[in-house]
Structure 1
Amino acid sequence: MTDTVSYRPKAGEIPTQPGVYRFRDSTGRVLYVGKAQNLRARLSNYFAPLRSLHERTRRMVTTASSVEWTVVGTDVEALQLEYTWIKEFDPPFNVKFRDDKSYPFMAITLGDEAPRVMVTRNQRIKGAKYFGPYPKIWAVHDTIDLMIKAFPIRTCSDSSYKKAMQSGRPCFPGQIGRCGGPCSGKVTIEEHRELVNDFIAFMNGHDKRFVTETTKRMREASEAQEYEKAARFRDQLHALDAVLEKSTVVLADSVDTDLFGIEHDELAAAVQQFIVRGGRIRGVRAWMVDKELDLTTAELVDSILQTAYEGQIPPREIIVPDLPDDAAELEQWLSERRGTSKVALKTAQRGEKAALMQTATLNAKNALMLYKMRRSTDFVARTEALTDIQNGLGMPDAPLRMECFDVSHLGGTNVVASMVVFEDGLARKDQYRRFTIPETTDDTDSIYQVITRRLAYLEEGSERSESDSVTKKFSYPPNLLIVDGGQPQVQAAARALRESGVQGIFLAGLAKRLEEIWLPDDDFPVILPRGSEALFLLQRIRDEAHRFAITHQRARRKRDITSVLSEIPGLGPARVKTLLKEFGSVSKLKQATPEQIAEVKGVGELLATTIHRQLRS
């Protein structure tokens, strides 16, 4: 393989100004669009020696056959042009947003003579004021139903309004008291406009003024013995209280902000957008993002904000987990979309906003977990995954039974390993196995030992009684044996496989950092598409093996603590925790001198001597 690609431009040909670049394949299709403050510095990263590139960046660069760039005047213009080209070309190596549905909004048509409130997904109604987005359409209808009781503005269609104006008879909402009746003259256009302004002011967050005024009017009407009027104010007050209960107060009344909680792994990202207006959560928006290239949280923020505010007006403040490198340019771009005032892009370090950000992030974690769970239970997706694994790894048959191994330890001590089994793409937890490794030199030696022990059961299983169901399960050979790691771990497993003499088992390693698949005899890894069901299934198997190994390792550590340290007089749970944090394990604590133990906070010389004597006895 050459050091770099043939179409690499000469360094002097690439300008140093800000701009946007596009990688194209041999057919002219745009594969990737990116922006840069300095085009020469940015593009030089792609044309570094191929061995030094991230595996997925290497795949993009080698798939492309040309690169082109466009110089712009400022970094903000680069941001705008990148956004335009991503929407136009839909490049496969840029992040993909799975949430392609439009969310419902509440709209007040201020451009009409008598404005109406309506539910719509159209965000381009001239002169309309929008609230939302709302997660479900019924949530918008519920809010409108409550608000109409307090502020009876028009909800009828334009045709019904026109008909009522011509006949002088109120429309149906006006007849049942759900509208003030500007069409029939029950209220004037000016009085109806005041109701609309109050409706908007309340939704914007000026809550206390209306509650106070309505309460005052109710009392005045009651004192004047105008009980029907007082009852109407009472009903309005109940409606206002109901709306306030639906939107929990989380911040000060003056706070208008959007918070973005993001959780991502190597393949996908979950995004939760909390829309806070007047200190209250007025809406929540959630979507999934498929990652093709390896992106940090800050780099994801850049793409997410561009998509989130497509056709929408951003608030004055946006809170994100990490600030991207071009935060200043992104602020300017968002401010131009807002038009009325500057948009501030921030992170929340402490206080109420940080607490709310934790909630948004927790929701994103749950969404990512649910997304992965739903994909794993889809029969069609599982079938596709097994077929793609077979083709991608060059296997003769689909891997109907896969076994994955992972090693876990604490500072080189308490070394354990796990084996998880997936059949037909589903976990077979009754066939999981745990291994304890008494002595080992490193992770590769641990993998060698575990694979050797596991393969021994394939020979022993045929010699044991057929009634031994546990042995029968364990002696069933896998089609694909997976180890967690790269080339060194795969080579160790291959050595164990050769020495066992077992034939017909395919071997692969999945390295977590780059999500590439290593085969025993290949110098370069196999790269599966980021959004593929095959890579998703392999990642899930590897993560399950890691979880199972960690659980076993922690359980052993806990047993060590309970059986050894709990018997020492004067050593309670808090001191046990402190000692283990300091020394890492019971075995290392056994090797410590009384003087070293006494240096731990809360442990005196007398107790240190007792611990040393008890552990050595």
Structure 2
Amino acid sequence: MADPSTYRPRPGEVPDSPGVYKFRDASGRVIYVGKAKSLRNRLNNYFQDLLQLHPRTASMVTTAASVEWTVVSTEVEALQLEYSWIKEFDPRFNVKYRDDKSYPSLAVTLADEVPRLMVMRGPKRKGVRYFGPYAHAWAIRETLDLLLRVFPARTCSNGVYKRAQQVGRPCLLGYIDKCSAPCVGKVTPEEHREIVEDFCDFMAGSTAKFTRRLERQMQQAAKEMEYERAARLRDDIGALTRAMEKSAVVLPDATDADVIAFAEDELEAAVQVFHVRGGRVRGQRGFVVDKVEEVDTGGLVERFVEQFYLDGGNEVPREVLVPALPDDPALVQEILQVVRGARTALRVPQRGDKKALLDTVARNAGQALALHKTRRASDLTTRGRALQEIQEALELDEAPLRIECYDVSHHQGEEIVASMVVFEDGLARRSEYRRFAIRGVNGHSDDVASMHEVITRRFKRYLDERERTGEAGVDSTAGTGEVAAEGTPAGIDPETGRPRKFAYAPNLVVVDGGPPQVAAAQRALDELGIDDVALCGLAKRLEEVWVPDDAHPVVMPRTSEGLYLLQRVRDEAHRFAITYHRQKKTKTVRASALDDVPGLGDARRKALLREFGSVKRLREASAEEIASLPGFGPRTAEAVVAALHDGAPAAGAMLSASPAGVLVDDAQPAEGDQ
């Protein structure tokens, strides 16, 4: 625990102007980022009697070892810089909102030549227009099923679309008039895009004009005695009406607002957002956050608006309704105006329909917080207890705040790879995961030698980084607060200001395996002269915890939170290693029957795979079909057919493709540290 007085700025050093400040720990990692109208007044608040500080603030200033600041011209610049630094450094003591679940959206791929309507989750992509998000995917599909009667746009995948083009027949939706079938030329791409644009206008809230248009067409068809067409239009109007009824009408038609409400306790908060467009609730999202700093509801509003809108992934509406205003609402409104390009009102509704809707959103937030608490496996108290149990079981001097776990993966001794995963404060830190292609033991299965190699390579990189920057000593805990010759904190690249790869040593190394793997890892550490990193292994069979030079395992109760954390770390390392191993295997081809075909290079192999889709279909193709492809003559086609049919039964023959469809030779050079 550091004493804040040891790094408190001297009187007069901190300017009385707007700016952004960073607290760093002894290893140089940024642990907190904040902004201030007056840097001097704000920083003085941190360096007072610890008993007067909020417990989390006290924990932050005692974890930190230094503070630095950057002066800016305005508070708007300070808010923008603070957001960019929080996104870059991911400080552990800052409030960070995360989705409480993955919400689906209705996506329109406008960047495609023939746009597609589809359900999509995850991060937003460029060239795709989104509607929602919605609480359930089935709600999107029900709405789509109704609207495809009026807007028969394409919903099929790229594979189905290309197959329909090849065979010249549309899918079922094309036959029942729920798709305009651009795949077979029933409409041109330009006509199909017009249908899609009308669909987007309807989803954006312009519903009345389409209803009126269909009513006029229905009346005209009736006058012309085209009763079947009039009946069809009548059914289309009914479909539009039912689709509109699925979005509750809550506010006047011109209302364009996001309604945000919070439910919170001392440790956590849940937030719900209802997106109201055209007076209807068009989407809903939920987030949860650990309150790792002292913050009230107004502060939560400011942090949420900053993180939700500044990344550009969410549309800023004309109005944002919140339960409480931040300390400086004018500043937040100015930021929203910059992002939107037009004025946005940030206000607290006091009465009427908007206040009633805010109360409804607040009830949803309360239910979300209660549900989250029942499901949360990474509760702060639970994580703290798990780390304490590991410390006691392994007799460590301090709790293992940073745990690294290593696993080796291979298939019958070939394509051996290894993974390194990092958990800090009991939570996965995926940005610091690393993977290794084992160099020295390919060709035979040797988990022990592989473990020795990966531990050696990881910690040799750590030592090389310290030597390169001139950091004194080999303190593997990286907790002494040394700085490089240029004054840069340990572990930070002075050129980029970012953490260097492998710059931090863990408090605890966990290997997947028993005594042999633990002994190999310990031997690697001893050879490098590292003697202050704790080590243990977790054997899968009985979930035994092994430590070096001990003939008996450490017994941890099955109900132990510490054992559960070690299992999660081990399982994550195993998953990461398996994923990398499968990626490497996917890119390889061994003893391919096409290798010896004269004149058949990588480009033609790729063309064959792209055209036929699989080796099975290629084997069923005739020489005439292959010869009809561009770049293939009769002799090459006959050679391909002969190789596939004559060489197919050969033992071990296997053909696979990379994700890009390129046939690749299996003999790849060993990769370095990723």
Give the TM-score normalised by the residue count of structure 2.
0.53
Structure 2 residue 367 is matched with structure 1 residue 366: yes
How far did 1:331 drift?
A: 2.5
How far did 1:270 drift?
A: 1.1
Q: Distance in 2 between matches of 1:382 and 1:299?
A: 24
Q: Could you list the per-position Cα deviations for residues 333-355 of structure 1 after superposition, in whole angstroms to 9, with x for gaps in the alignment?
A: 3333334x333222212221111
> Taking structure 1 as reference, are residues 20 and 380 closer, same or farther at Cα in structure 2, changes over 3 Å only?
closer
Q: Which amino acid aligns with 1:75?
A: E
> Taking structure 1 as reference, are residues 37 and 243 closer, same or farther at Cα in structure 2, changes over 3 Å only?
same
Q: Which amino acid aligns with 1:7?
A: Y
Residues paired across the two proteins, number: 392
Which residue number corresponds to residue 290 of structure 2? 290
How far did 1:219 drift?
A: 3.2
Q: Comparing both structures, which one devotes a greater share of its residues to helix?
A: 1
Structure 2 residue 322 is matched with structure 1 residue 320: yes
> Taking structure 1 as reference, are residues 388 and 118 closer, same or farther at Cα in structure 2, changes over 3 Å only?
closer
Spell out the pairing of 1:137-286 with structure 2 (5 A cutoff). Answer: 137-161=137-161, 169-286=169-286
Q: In structure 2, the residue corresponding to 1:11 is in which secondary structure?
A: coil
How far did 1:30 drift?
A: 1.6
Q: Distance in 2 between matches of 1:84 and 1:335?
A: 18
How far did 1:24 drift?
A: 1.2
Q: Is the 8 A contact 1:109 1:125 kept in 2?
A: no
Q: In structure 2, the residue corresponding to 1:150 is in which secondary structure?
A: coil
Q: Distance in 2 between matches of 1:386 and 1:115?
A: 52
How far did 1:386 drift?
A: 7.2
Q: In structure 2, the residue corresponding to 1:92 is in which secondary structure?
A: coil
Q: Is the 8 A contact 1:106 1:140 kept in 2?
A: yes
How far did 1:274 drift?
A: 0.4
> Taking structure 1 as reference, are residues 172 and 42 closer, same or farther at Cα in structure 2, changes over 3 Å only?
same
How far did 1:206 drift?
A: 1.6
Q: Is the 8 A contact 2:108 2:129 kept in 1?
A: yes
Structure 2 residue 343 is matched with structure 1 residue 348: no
> Taking structure 1 as reference, are residues 4 and 188 closer, same or farther at Cα in structure 2, changes over 3 Å only?
closer
Spell out the pairing of 1:111-122 with structure 2 (5 A cutoff). Answer: 111-121=111-121
Q: Is the 8 A contact 2:250 2:279 kept in 1?
A: yes
> Taking structure 1 as reference, are residues 379 and 168 closer, same or farther at Cα in structure 2, changes over 3 Å only?
closer
Which residue number corresponds to residue 13 of structure 1? 13
Q: Is the 8 A contact 2:147 2:240 kept in 1?
A: yes
Q: Which amino acid aligns with 1:338?
A: R
Q: Could you list the per-position Cα deviations for residues 244-275 of structure 1 after superposition, in whole angstroms to 9, with x for gaps in the alignment?
A: 11100001111111110111111111111001
Q: Distance in 2 between matches of 1:245 and 1:183?
A: 32
Q: Is the 8 A contact 1:97 1:287 kept in 2?
A: yes
Q: Distance in 2 between matches of 1:25 and 1:197?
A: 53
Ranges in structure 1 where 5+ consecutive residues have no aligned partner: 393-532, 535-617
Q: Which amino acid aligns with 2:55?
A: E
Q: Is the 8 A contact 1:262 1:321 kept in 2?
A: yes
Q: Could you list the per-position Cα deviations for residues 545-586 of structure 1 after superposition, in whole angstroms to 9, with x for gaps in the alignment?
A: xxxxxxxxxxxxxxxxxxxxxxxxxxxxxxxxxxxxxxxxxx
Q: Is the 8 A contact 2:274 2:285 kept in 1?
A: yes
> Taking structure 1 as reference, are residues 39 and 189 closer, same or farther at Cα in structure 2, changes over 3 Å only?
same
Q: Distance in 2 between matches of 1:373 and 1:289?
A: 15
Which residue number corresponds to residue 307 of structure 1? 307
Q: Which amino acid aligns with 1:345?
A: L
Q: Is the 8 A contact 1:117 1:154 kept in 2?
A: yes
Q: In structure 1, the residue corresponding to 2:270 is in which secondary structure?
A: strand
Q: In structure 2, the residue corresponding to 1:13 is in which secondary structure?
A: coil
How far did 1:180 drift?
A: 1.8
Q: Could you list the per-position Cα deviations for residues 441-497 of structure 1 after superposition, in whole angstroms to 9, with x for gaps in the alignment?
A: xxxxxxxxxxxxxxxxxxxxxxxxxxxxxxxxxxxxxxxxxxxxxxxxxxxxxxxxx
Q: Could you list the per-position Cα deviations for residues 316-336 of structure 1 after superposition, in whole angstroms to 9, with x for gaps in the alignment?
A: 221111111233332233333
> Taking structure 1 as reference, are residues 386 and 41 closer, same or farther at Cα in structure 2, changes over 3 Å only?
closer
Q: Is the 8 A contact 2:2 2:62 kept in 1?
A: no
Q: Could you list the per-position Cα deviations for residues 19-49 of structure 1 after superposition, in whole angstroms to 9, with x for gaps in the alignment?
A: 1111111121222111112111111111123
Q: Is the 8 A contact 1:26 1:65 kept in 2?
A: yes
> Taking structure 1 as reference, are residues 160 and 342 closer, same or farther at Cα in structure 2, changes over 3 Å only?
farther
Which residue number corresponds to residue 99 of structure 2? 99
Q: Distance in 2 between matches of 1:22 and 1:379?
A: 26
Q: Which amino acid aligns with 1:154?
A: R
Q: Is the 8 A contact 2:211 2:240 kept in 1?
A: yes
Spell out the pairing of 1:29-178 with structure 2 (5 A cutoff). Answer: 29-99=29-99, 102-121=102-121, 124-161=124-161, 169-178=169-178
Q: In structure 2, the residue corresponding to 1:48 is in which secondary structure?
A: coil
Q: In structure 2, the residue corresponding to 1:174 is in which secondary structure?
A: helix
Q: Is the 8 A contact 1:23 1:64 kept in 2?
A: yes
How far did 1:76 drift?
A: 1.7
Ranges in structure 2 where 5+ consecutive residues have no aligned partner: 392-560, 563-674
Task: Give me the CA root mean square deviation.
Answer: 3.2
Q: Is the 8 A contact 1:156 1:173 kept in 2?
A: no
How far did 1:80 drift?
A: 1.6
Q: Is the 8 A contact 2:106 2:118 kept in 1?
A: yes
Q: Is the 8 A contact 1:25 1:64 kept in 2?
A: yes
Which residue number corresponds to residue 28 of structure 1? 28
Q: Distance in 2 between matches of 1:370 and 1:120?
A: 25
> Taking structure 1 as reference, are residues 159 and 342 closer, same or farther at Cα in structure 2, changes over 3 Å only?
farther
Q: Distance in 2 between matches of 1:264 and 1:109?
A: 38
Q: Distance in 1 between matches of 2:379 and 2:129?
A: 44
Which residue number corresponds to residue 478 of structure 1? none
Q: Which amino acid aligns with 1:346?
A: R
> Taking structure 1 as reference, are residues 379 and 268 closer, same or farther at Cα in structure 2, changes over 3 Å only?
closer
> Taking structure 1 as reference, are residues 84 and 11 closer, same or farther at Cα in structure 2, changes over 3 Å only?
same
Which residue number corresponds to residue 611 of structure 2? none
How far did 1:120 drift?
A: 2.1
Q: Is the 8 A contact 1:5 1:62 kept in 2?
A: no
